[in-house]
Structure 1
Amino acid sequence: MPRNALVTGPPRSGKTTALERTVAVLRDDGKAVGGLVCPELREDGDRVGFEIVDLATGERAVMAHVDVDGPAVSRYGVDVAAVGRLSRSALSTAVDDCDCVVIDELAPMQLESDQFVTATRRVLDSRTPVLASIAVRESDPFLESVRSREDVAIFAVTPETRDALPAALIEWIRSS
């Protein structure tokens, strides 16, 4: 039985929204949910970067920004130290203390941090159910290794599945 669920789809398909709705229902059911989310940063309506946020504590840092001097992913510089610090603390705490770990998302910005990759591997190898989003088109050896794991179930976000996906993820977690 897979312990890890990957929500996949193209950009703007609804991966994050499906995870947010799933987390809300899990918390309403009294489940402890931890992990990481990476919301956009906007200024005057324009996306200028992304934060990285610990779901359990609310601790946050700028992960990538147009004004950050770091490895470039698209037009954003990545703060590798911030990604590593929050990944290490949020994911290790979540795998030990939570009923479900969420990672939104497995993507090039996060993969700039070796600590993120190491912490993600540990979470995926654990007994705690993991819900993670992953872009459908991204190709990277680590992402390919995650997609091809035998303990992974893949949930595709399409216009037809988008609204029903949170309920399917909830059912998947309950049966895990």
Structure 2
Amino acid sequence: MNRRAPVFIITGGQGQCKTTFLHLVLGLIVGLNVRARGVIAPGHVRDGRRSGFTLVDLATGEHEELCSIDPDPRCEAHGRFYFRPEGLAFGRRALAPPDPRETDLMVIDEVGRFELQGVVWAEQLDRLTAHPHPPMVWTVRRRLLDTVVERWNITNPVVVDVGAASVMATADAVMDAVWEWREAQTFSPVPAPPVPGDRIANDAPLFAEAVAGGSPSAPAILRRRYGPEG
């Protein structure tokens, strides 16, 4: 490829349904045999406040509790959350650098203040961005967006704001990047070590129904910035 594969950044304010938007985008492309790796992290609410997160491995469909607000001496404390060692190990395995010939899309939900402090998924993000990678989709809070882009030197972010974006048009843009990546791998002479797992484990009809009333003509990409060759 004559440029690095893009990093799509789904952004919005706290509680503005970034993970839900990501779910819907993945639901529209799951039927197209997109070989996705990475994690999504649905949150839990208790007494009106965020109380924890569960991780779902997109390659296997397996899930593991990541963190909660309940104190536990076995856990790593970051902010008000206690991160379970099993959940951290689970996520780090799911975010290992992929085989570029066997992976179309990497997903990280989400990249936030803990990663900017050098913990949770920071090391995995460093590894993923240090070398050529397939298209990626990250979720990032709006107030951290520019800091995240600068920290990981993302020269070609495609920024999607959930407040104005179309799920269907965003899925189309992601698929365009996936097809370009596949074409580039077809002609690439460089092999890579195999990594298990080959597709999104989601329920496509469920997501398709959820966006059936959406407007495909709504703006999908608010800012698209391609940088120099990487």
Aligned to 1:105: 110
Contact conserved, 1:157 with 1:165, CA < 8 A, in 2? no
Which amino acid in structure 1 is aligned with residue 51 of structure 2?
V
Larger radius of gyration: 2
CA distance in 1, matches of 2:17, 2:178: 19
Flag the 1:134–1:104 CA change in 2: closer, same or farther, 3 A: same
Q: What code does the residue aligned with 1:77 have?
A: Y
| Structure 1 CA distance for aligned equivalents of residues 54 and 165 of structure 2 | 28
Q: Is 1:62 paired with 2:65? A: yes
Contact 1:19 1:166 (C-alpha < 8 Å) held by counterparts: no
2:138 matched residue in structure 1: 132
For the structure 1 residues 167 and 16, does the alpha-carbon distance in structure 2 shift closer, same or farther, using more than 3 Å as the test?
A: farther
Distance change (3 Å), C-alpha of 1:134 and 1:63: same
In structure 1, what residue type is equivalent to 2:41? C
Instruction: Tell me the residue number matched to 2:164.
Output: 160
Unaligned runs of 5+ in 1: none
Q: Aligned AA for 1:102?
A: V
Count of residue pairs the alignment pairs up = 171
Report the CA distance shift for 1:34/1:88 in structure 2 as closer, same or farther (over 3 A). same
Q: 1:1-176 alignment to 2 at 5 Å? A: 1-3=3-5, 4-42=7-45, 47-69=50-72, 70-73=76-79, 75-79=80-84, 81-92=85-96, 95-96=98-99, 97-109=102-114, 114=119, 116-124=121-129, 125-138=131-144, 144-146=150-152, 148-150=153-155, 152-163=156-167, 164-176=169-181
Instruction: Measure how far apart 1:101 and its partner are.
Output: 0.8
Q: Deviations over 1:68-106 (max 9, x none)?
A: 433232x32233x3353123211226x124211111111
Provide the rounded CA distance (Å) in 2 between the counterparts of 1:112 and 1:84.
16
Bigger proportion of residues as strand: 1
Q: Take 1:158 and 1:58, find their aligned partners in 2: how far apart are those partners?
A: 25
After TM superposition, the score normalised by the length of structure 2 is 0.61
Matched-pair identity in %: 23
Q: 8 Å contact 2:21–2:162 — kept in the other structure?
A: no
Shift in CA distance, 110/50, structure 1 to aligned 2, threshold 3 Å: farther
Instruction: Work out the CA distance in 2 between the residues paired with 1:9 and 1:117.
Output: 21
Higher helix share: 1
Structure 2: distance between partners of 1:99 and 1:20? 17
- AA aligned to 1:134 is V
Q: Secondary structure at the match of 1:128?
A: coil
Q: CA deviation at 1:44?
A: 7.6
AA aligned opposite 2:176: E
Distance in 1 (alpha carbons) for counterparts of 2:118 and 2:89: 9
- In 2, Cα distance between the equivalents of 1:137 and 1:9? 8
Q: Aligned-pair distance for 1:175? A: 3.5
What's the TM-score, normalizing by structure 1?
0.77
